[in-house]
Structure 1
Amino acid sequence: MKTYPIAKSNRTPWCDESTYQAMYTESINDSDAFWAKQAKLFLDWDKDWAQASNVDYSKGQIEWFKGGELNVAYNCIDRHLSERADQVAIIWEGDNPDVSESVTYQQLHDKVAKFANGLKKLGVKKGDRVCIYMPMILEASYAMLACARIGAIHSVVFGGFSPEALKDRILDSECKIVITADEGVRGGKAIPLKANVDKAIGACDCVDAVIVVEHTKGDVHWGIKDVWYHELVSDVPADCPCESYDAETPLFILYTSGSTGKPKGVLHTSGGYLLYAAMTHKYTFDYQDGDVYWCTADVG
C-alpha cells in the first residue's frame, strides 16, 4: 500500500484551544464587532457598512453588512491577480480520469469576463435570474462567476434532475437565460441535458435564450432561442468591469430537493454568503497557502 506524507503545515492547526475560545467569547460578547473584523479581514469592500448585522427573529429579518458594497467575482478572482495571475485556480477532472485541465487565475478572469460580456450581449443585467443546468465542467464555474460579476442572480439546478423539475425551478425564479451543455457524461453514459432543457422551456415564457456549451459534440435539436457558448464569447473582450452592489444583493437561489413538498428556493445574499464561505475555508478546513481543496460534489 502506498502512503503519502502529510505536509508539516497541515499537521499544525491554525489555532489552539485558547485562541478558539477567545474568538468564540468575542463573537458572543460583541457580535457586531467580531463580524465586522472578520469581514474586513477576509473581503475587499467598495463601500463600508453602517451596521454589521440586523437580526430580528420574530420578523424573520436578517441582514448582513447592509449598505456595504462589494463584488463577489472581484473577491474571488481579480484581487488575486497581482500576486497569483499565473498560479492554478481550478483543477478540473473529467468523467474519464485521464482527462484533466488546469486554469490559472488570469485564465479564469478572462473566461469569466468574456462570459459576463456574452450575458450582457444577450441583455442580462443586474437582478436578472439565470438558470445553470450543466455537467461538472469548467464552464459551470465560469457561468456562476460571470453572473456575480454583473450582478445577475444564478440558480444552479442539478444536472440529474428531470425536465419537469427543471421547468418548475425556471418558472419559480423567472429565469431569463438558461445555460446548459449539449450533453453531460457520468460513468461513461451520456446525459441529454440540452434535450431536457428543450422539454422544460416549452412552458417557460420567461426564457429569452439558451446558451449551449459544446461538451460532447452530441447531436442536439436547435431552436430559435439557442446560442452556442463558443460563438457567444468569440467576439467579446476579456475584460468586464465588476458591478458594485449592496452586500444584501441576492447572489444565488438554490432549491430544496422537494422530497417533502414543493421545492423551496433558498436565497443567499452576497456579503454574508461570501464571508461564510471564506471563513469556513480557513477556519473549518484549515486552509494553508498552496493547499488543493478537492470537491467531489456536483453543482446544484
Structure 2
Amino acid sequence: MQAHQQSSRKRYQESYRQSIDHPETFWKEQAARIPWFTFPDTILAWDEQQHARWFVDGEMNICHAALDHHVDEGRGEQTALLWDSPVSGQKRRMSYREMRDATAVFAGALRNLGVEKGDRVVIYMPMVPEALIAMYACARLGAVHSVVFGGFAAHELAVRIDDASPKVVIAASCGIEVDKIIPYKPIVDAALTQSTHQPDACVILQRDACLAELSDGDHEWHSLAADAEPAACVSVKATDPLYVLYTSGTTGKPKGVVRDHGGYAVALAYSMEAVYDMAPGEVFFSASDVGWVVGHSYIVYAPLLRGCTTVVYEGKPVRTPDAGAFWRLIEEYRVKAFFTAPTAFRAIKKEDPEGTHLAQYDISCLKNLFLAGERLDPPTYHWLNKLLERPVIDHWWQTETGWPIAANMMGIDPVPTKAGSATFPVPGYDVRILDPDGEEAGPNIQGSVVIRQPMPPGCLTTIWQNPERFHKAYMATFPGFYLTGDGGYFDKEGYLFVMGRTDDVINVAGHRLSTGEMEEVLGAHPAVAECAVIGIRDALKGQVPVGLVIPKDGFDGDTLALENELKQQVREKIGGIAGLQEVLVVSRLPKTRSGKILRKLLRTIADGEEYAVPSTIDDPGSLQDVHDSMRERALGQAEQARQR
C-alpha cells in the first residue's frame, strides 16, 4: 500500500509541476485533445490588467465539440442523455444524433427570431432535456446564454434580464416540485413588467402539468421549431463568451460570471478524465440543476465533451419517493461516477440514518462518489465511507472557477483521502495560503486561500459589463493572486483543508475561530443530522458562537440534554474559549436551492436585524422556524434573569 501511495503521489506531482512550471506546454497538450476549427498558436496571453487569457487566436464551437464531433466520429447512436423525472412520471433517452439534430433545429428557430452571434438569451427552465437543448442551441449560434434557476422570484429574474439584455427569453410553462406545481409564465410576465429591457420574443415549452396562456410576442417551443431549418455551428473565438451565470444570493446589481468557449471546453474535457476518471460511453450522474454552475459544467457540457452519457434528474434526494432515490438511479442507469452536494446526503442520512434503502439496489457499477458545493463535514464523510465502501471524494471549486480547484485525481492515480480535506490542488491551480499581510503561511496555519496567476483555462474571464468589479472583487486584495474568499490551510503532507468562507471565521475575545471546526464537533454527535454554527454580536467578547442543530429522524431524547452535551463536546474538543453560547435544536435550516446553508442570513436574524427573504432560498418557512426558536430562547433567558 505504501509503495502505491508513493507512486500515486509521484504521478500527480509530475503532472502538477508541469502545469505550474510550463503552463503553455501543459494546456497546449490538453487543447489538442478536443476538436478545433482553427487550433491556437498563442496558448497564453495577458490582458491590460494582467489577467490570463487562453487560446486567444483559436476558433471552435463548444456545441460542435460536444455533439457534432461525436456524430461525425461514428458514435451518433450512443446515448447522450438520460432524463428521469419522478415528479412528472416521465423518462426519456436521447442519442448523440438526436441531441445534435434537436439542437440544430432549435438553433434554427432562434435564428428565425433574430438571434445571432453575441446576442444574449435568458433561459428559465426546470430539469428537462429542452433546457440542455436550449443552452447548446445558443452556443451553436455563438449566442450567450444566461440560465436563471427555474422558480426564481420575478424581481430577481427582472434584474438579470436588465443586466444581460437578452434578445429572447426561453421558459417552460411550469416547474414540478414534490408537492406542488410552480407556473413559470406568470413569473416571466411579472419580471418583464418590472424590467427596463424588453426582449424581442419569449419561447415557452408547454408542459402538460400546467399549460401557459400565450400572449403577443410569445412562441410555443414545438410550433416554432416545426418551421425551422437546422443551423450549423458558428465558428467563434476561444475567448468569445459562452455564458453569463449570476452567482446565487446577489442583491442589487447582479454579479454575472462570464465563461468562454475554448478554455472552458479544454478544462472540462481534461477534468472528466483526470479528476472524475470517466471514459467515452460511461454514465455520469450529477444531481444538481442547470441553474447552478455544477449543472452547467457537469450535467450539460463536460459529460458530452468527453463522449459520456449524462443523467438529467428532475427530483429530490428524498421524497421522490424516498431516501433511496439516488441508489435507484445509479442501479437503473449503471452510473460509474456520481456527483452531488453534501447537503443531499445529510437529508438522506436524516431520513435513513442506517442506510437501509441501499440494500434494495445493486450499485456495484458505482466506482466513485464526488461531493462539492460546500464543505464535506467529517461525520457525513465517515457515514458515506462506511455505507458505500468505495471512494468518497470531497473536492472544492466555485461558480467563478467552473471546475475543481482541489480534488483527489481519480483519473491520474488516486491517493488516500483525509476527512475534511479536498486532497491536493488540481493541475493548473497554484494554490497558496496567505496571512493578512500577504505572507505565505506554513503548514497547519489557517489563512486566505488564493490562487497565483495565471488562473487555468475554464475560469471566469470577467464580470459581465463590469471588468473593474471583476478586478476589485478577485484580483486587487493580493496583487498577482485570485482571492477565493475561503479560508483554509495545508497540512504537512500537502493536503488542502478548506474551512469555509472567510466571513465564517469569528472573533471571540481576540481569538479567531473557524465555525467549520465547531460544526465538525456538533455533526459528530450520533443524534445530529445537520448543523450550522454562526457568530453573533456580544458586547463583552465581540462575537460568540451559537449552534443550530437538526436531530436525526426518530430522535426522541431530551433536547435540553442534547444541547448541553453538544456544548460540553465543543469545550472538550476545541477549548473553553470556543464554548458555545447556545445550542438550539431546530426542525430545519434555511438553505439555497443548491443546498448551501444561509449562514449570513442566520447571523442577521440572531443579531435582531431586519432581513429580506432571498430569492435563492429553498424553503422560506425555515426562516420562521429559526426565528421562532431564537425568540423563544431569548424570552426564556429574559424570564430566568427576571426571576434571579
**TM-score under structure 2 length normalisation:** 0.43
The answer for the alignment partner of 2:118 in structure 1 is: 127
Q: Does 1:63 align with 2:53?
A: yes
Higher mean alpha-carbon deviation, 88-97 vs 26-35, is at: 88-97
Q: Any residues of structure 2 matched to 1:20-169 within 5 Å, and which?
A: 20-41=12-33, 43-55=34-46, 59=49, 61-81=51-71, 82-96=73-87, 98-169=89-160
CA shift, 1:216, in A, is: 2.6
Q: Which amino acid aligns with 2:202?
A: V
1:177 is aligned to 168
1:133 Cα deviation from its structure 2 partner: 0.3
Q: Offset at 1:249?
A: 0.3
In structure 2, distance between residues paired with 1:97 and 1:230: 19
Q: State the 1:204 CA deviation.
A: 4.1
Cα pair distance change 1:227/1:290, threshold 3 Å? same
Distance 1:259 1:110 in 2: 37
Larger radius of gyration: 2
Taking the aligned partners of 2:236 and 2:92, their CA distance within structure 1 comes to 33
SS of 2:166 mapped into structure 1: coil
Query: Which residue does the alignment assign to 1:19?
Result: 11
More displaced stretch, 28-37 vs 259-268: 259-268
Q: Is the 8 A contact 1:129 1:152 kept in 2?
A: yes
User: Is it true that 1:250 corresponds to 2:241 in the alignment?
Assistant: yes
Cα distance change on mapping 1:76 and 1:289 into 2, 3 Å: closer
What residue is the counterpart of 1:9 in the other structure?
A: none
Give a deviation string over 1:113-166, Cα, whole Å, max 9, x none: 011000000000000000000011000000000000010000000113101000
Could you tell me how far apart the structure 2 residues matched to 1:260 and 1:167 are? 12
Aligned-partner SS, 1:124: coil
Tell me how far apart the structure 2 counterparts of residues 235 and 172 of structure 1 sit (CA, whole Å).
Answer: 31
Q: Deviations over 1:242-284 (max 9, x none)?
A: 1001000000000012346642001001111111211121111
* Cα distance in 2, alignment partners of residues 215 and 87 from structure 1: 27
| Alignment partner, residue 279 of structure 2 | 288
> Does the residue aligned with 1:118 lie in a helix, a strand or coil?
helix
Whole-Å Cα distance in 2 between the matches of residues 193 and 105 of structure 1?
A: 29
| Whole-Å separation in 2 of the counterparts to 1:204 and 1:122 | 20
- Aligned in 2, Cα 1:215/1:230: closer, same or farther, shift over 3 Å? same
1:224 to 201, 216, 239: 216
Separation of aligned partners in 2, 1:55 and 1:22: 26
Give the 4+ runs in structure 1 shifted more than 6 A: none
Q: Is 1:198 the equivalent of 2:206?
A: no
Structure 1 residues 179 and 60, CA gap change in structure 2 (3 angstroms): farther
User: Which letter does structure 2 place at the counterpart of 1:168?
Assistant: V
Higher mean C-alpha displacement, 152-161 vs 47-56: 47-56
Cα RMSD over matched residues?
Answer: 1.9
Give, in angstroms, the shift of residue 233 of structure 1: 0.5
Q: Is the 8 A contact 1:50 1:68 kept in 2?
A: yes
Equivalent residues of 1:195, 1:221 under 8 A apart: no
Amino acid at match of 1:111: A
CA contact (8 A) 1:257 1:263 kept: no
* Paired amino acid for 2:183: P
In structure 1, what is the Cα distance between the partners aligned to 2:135 and 2:281?
A: 24
Letter aligned with residue 227 of structure 1: H
For residue 48 of structure 1, report the CA deviation from its aligned partner: 2.2
Whole-Å Cα distance in 1 between the matches of residues 12 and 143 of structure 2? 37
Moved more, 46-55 or 131-140: 46-55
SS at match of 2:134: helix
Alpha-carbon separation, structure 2, partners of 1:87 and 1:48: 27
Residues 164-213 of structure 1 deviation map (CA, whole Å, 9 limit, x = unaligned): 00000011011110000111101141111111001111234431100000
- Choose between structure 1 and 2 for higher RCO, CA contacts under 8 A separated by at least 6 residues: 1
Corresponding residue for residue 263 of structure 1: 254
Contact 2:56 2:238 in 1 (8 A): yes
1:207 corresponding residue in structure 2: 199
User: Runs of 5+ in structure 2 lacking a partner?
Assistant: 1-6, 292-644
Q: CA deviation at 1:217?
A: 5.2
Aligned-partner Cα distance in 2 for 1:194–1:51: 46
After superposition, the C-alpha distances for 1:49-108 in whole angstroms (9 at most, x for unaligned) are 23211246x815321100100011000001101321111000011143742111000100
Question: In structure 2, how many angstroms separate the alpha carbons of the residues matched to 1:219 and 1:98?
Answer: 17
Instruction: Confirm or deny: 8 A CA contact 2:24 2:44 kept in the other structure.
Output: yes
Deviation at 1:294, TM superposition (A): 0.7
Q: Is the 8 A contact 2:88 2:176 kept in 1?
A: no
Q: Are 1:67 and 1:246, in contact at CA under 8 Å, matched by a contact in 2?
A: yes
Unmatched 5+ stretches in structure 1: 1-14
Deviates more, 1:262-271 or 1:97-106: 97-106
Question: CA offset at residue 111 of structure 1?
Answer: 0.5
- TM-score, normalising length from structure 1? 0.89
Quick check: 2:43–2:55 contact (8 Å CA) kept in 1?
yes
Shift of 1:214: 1.0
Indicate if the aligned counterparts of 1:114 and 1:240 stay in contact, CA closer than 8 A: yes
